[in-house]
């Protein structure tokens, strides 16, 4: 997690897991992972199937395989330790700007801003007076502003980053901000200007009936089969991937995508599906 005493490796795993997944769902899975694979070398030595089973219900299972690739790259470094340098972190497989900044700040107390959606919303409201509709990635202007607001020491900057994340998650929320409880209320431009609505509203992520839901159902089936030593036939997987009201091609499309992503392996001329070994 983001507490003192958590290793850089544990911090990296937590930050990867918590991308697009609520922290209450991440916490128990993360604890199991860190007990089972406390070092990059330990995770790197596991089979992809073990990793995907342990990923459980976190969603976006490709992240699990990228995390294992990252672990192997770290284990191959001199000393086998997570690097502290931001550029070296960014060079690791599956590590983007957010994860690299989070590890550098929380694990190594580097003076860098950590810009998740919550932090970006807080700063947009307080500094710009805009409600904030998230774009694909933070702009250069956002990064520059966030860096200018950081405390001067790395340790204080890490505390500042965590505080902004918590403020956005618990108080300055997207749908029901609790401005009366906000410590930034007196200086918040958005509140002063009457909380103007964004010109473009962010779209919520759909789930029911999507390929993502169908993929999740197939992966759950394969995890269960692997755990209990059973085979999964292609016909079984197609039935699981067929959702009510879905188009006729969805199930087949989902299986093709899972194989292409390396999450599923075909055996016996495609009649049997299993997790990669």
Write the pLDDT tens digit of every residue in 153-187.
Answer: 999 999 999 999 999 999 999 999 999 999 999 99
| Residues classed as catalytic | 15
Confidence band for 133, pLDDT divided at 50, 70 and 90: confident
In-domain check, residue 174: yes
Number of domains in the chain: 3
Judge if 173 and 243 occupy the same domain.
no
Please tell me the predicted confidence (pLDDT) of residue 191.
96
**At a CB cut-off of 8 Å and minimum separation 6, what does 260 contact?**
none
Query: What is the average per-residue pLDDT within 228-249?
Result: 94
The domain boundary, picked from 107, 137, 163, lies at 107
- Answer whether residue 248 shows pLDDT above 90: no
Find the CATH number of the domain harbouring 222: 1.10.10
- Same domain for 31 and 54, yes or no, is yes
Q: Are residues 39 and 96 located together in one domain of the fold?
A: yes
Quote the distance between the C-alpha of residue 237 and its chain's center: 26
Q: In sequence order, what DSSP letters do the residues of 196-251 get, joined into one string?
A: PPPSSPPPPPP-TTSHHHHHHHHHHHHHHHHHHT--EEHHHHHHHH--TT--TTHH
Q: Are residues 100 and 148 in the same domain?
A: no
**The domain containing residue 250 runs over which residues?**
211-274
76 and 123: one domain?
A: no
206 occurs within a structural domain: no
Residues 39 and 85 in one domain: yes
pTM: 0.91
Q: Among 36-40, 46-50, 135-139, 143-147, which stretch is predicted with the lowest mean pLDDT?
A: 135-139
Contact (CB, 8 A) for 115 and 70: no
Q: How many whole angstroms separate alpha carbon 64 and alpha carbon 34?
A: 14
**Average model confidence (pLDDT) for the chain?**
94
Same domain? 98 vs 128: no
> What residues contact residue 168 under an 8 Å CB cut-off, 6+ apart?
116, 117, 118, 119, 121, 122
Residue 241: half-sphere exposure toward Cβ, Cα within 13 Å? 25
Can you give the CATH number for the domain in which 40 is found? 1.10.340.30
Span 221-237, average pLDDT = 97
Residues 125-136: what's their mean pLDDT? 87
Q: How many residues does the chain have?
A: 277
Task: Assess if residue 157 is contained within a domain.
Answer: yes
User: At 129, which CATH number?
Assistant: 1.10.1670.10
Instruction: Among 76, 107, 138, identify where a domain stops.
Output: 107
Please enumerate in sequence order all residues whose Cβ is within 8 A of that of 173, keeping only pairs 6 or more positions apart, or say none.
none
């Amino acid at each position: 997690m983001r507490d003192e005493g958590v290793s850089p490796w544990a911090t990296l795993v937590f930050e990867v897991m918590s991308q697009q997944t609520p922290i209450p769902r991440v916490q128990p899975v993360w604890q199991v992972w860190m007990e089972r694979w406390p070092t990059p070398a330990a995770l790197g030595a596991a089979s992809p199937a073990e990793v995907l089973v342990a990923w459980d219900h976190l969603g976006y299972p490709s992240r699990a395989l990228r995390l294992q690739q990252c672990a192997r790259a770290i284990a191959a470094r001199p000393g086998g330790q997570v690097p502290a340098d931001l550029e070296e972190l960014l060079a690791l497989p599956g590590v983007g700007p957010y994860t690299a900044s989070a590890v550098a700040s929380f694990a190594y107390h580097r003076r860098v801003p950590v810009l998740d959606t919550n932090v970006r919303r807080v700063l947009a409201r307080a500094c710009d007076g805009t409600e904030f509709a998230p774009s694909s990635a933070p702009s250069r202007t956002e990064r520059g502003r966030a860096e200018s607001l950081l405390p001067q020491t790395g340790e204080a900057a890490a505390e500042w980053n965590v505080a902004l994340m918590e403020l956005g998650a618990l108080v300055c929320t997207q749908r029901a901000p609790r401005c009366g409880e906000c410590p930034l209320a007196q200086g918040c431009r958005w509140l002063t200007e009457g909380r103007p609505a964004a010109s473009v509203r962010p779209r919520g992520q759909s789930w029911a009936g999507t390929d993502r839901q169908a993929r999740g159902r197939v992966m759950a089936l394969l995890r269960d089969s692997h755990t209990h030593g059973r085979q999964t036939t292609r016909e079984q997987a197609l039935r699981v991937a067929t959702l009510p009201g879905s188009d006729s091609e969805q199930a087949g499309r989902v299986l093709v995508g899972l194989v292409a992503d390396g999450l599923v392996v075909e055996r016996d001329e495609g009649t049997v599906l299993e997790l990669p070994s």
